[in-house]
Amino acid sequence: MKKFIVNIVLALIVIFLAYKVYESIMEPVKYRKDTIAREKIIINKLDEIKTLQIEFRKLNGRYTSSFDTLINFYEDGRMPLVLKNGVVPDTLTEEKALQMGIITRDTTYIPIKDTLLKNVENLNIKNLAIVPFTKGKVKFEMQASAVTRANFKVPVFEVKCYKKDYLAGIKEQDLLQNDLKIMKEDDKFPGLILGSLTEPSTDGNW
């Protein structure tokens, strides 16, 4: 009987140790999987911000550092739509046909929200500034400025958020801290960043 109990205890210890080994192997896998899934959602939101910023600049000649301005721009703004009437002959350019009166152009204005972000499912423009997975407590940091290139002022903007915020709720905090340490050593931004305040770029670091 005693031997049987000892065998049961040993079997439970083996199972426990096997589970801990499995857990240690799967923990980094789960961490990477969760990180990629969360960052994909955040990148989609950054792309929404980028779309609004680019259209805002087209109409205003600059970017904005205010999310309230972007939200109002989406909800109340209007953008020009040029309608062309007539057909351009093969022998003429469109501009020449316009000068000759063969075609005409009319400009009408349509609501921004009827055109931009139409393919975004469950869009909540009021939460544009909120970083996903932060329970509404953290906002994107957004700035706008201008840089000089070839004696011209070029508008720029930057939007960023941090891993420590959008991964705050995950279990694998030791892996997160190690990630942040490596990024600091490599002089990399510890999160996601769109645009730049020093270069006329609208690309992201992903």
* Residue pLDDT, tens place only, 42-83: 999 999 999 999 999 999 999 999 999 999 999 999 988 877
Q: How is residue 20 written in tokens?
A: 């801990």
CA distance 67 to 128: 7
Q: What pLDDT shows up at residue 178? A: 94
Crossing angle for the helix pair 2-60 and 173-185, nearest 10 degrees? 50
Tens of pLDDT along the chain (206 residues)? 666 565 565 555 555 444 454 455 568 999 999 999 999 999 999 999 999 999 999 999 999 999 999 999 999 999 888 777 778 888 878 888 778 778 887 788 899 999 899 989 889 999 999 999 999 999 999 999 999 999 999 999 999 999 999 999 899 999 999 999 999 999 999 999 999 999 999 999 99
Q: State pTM to two decimals.
A: 0.79
CA angle 106, 107, 109 (to 5 degrees): 145
Which pLDDT belongs to residue 18?
44
Question: Token pair for residue 145?
Answer: 């400025």
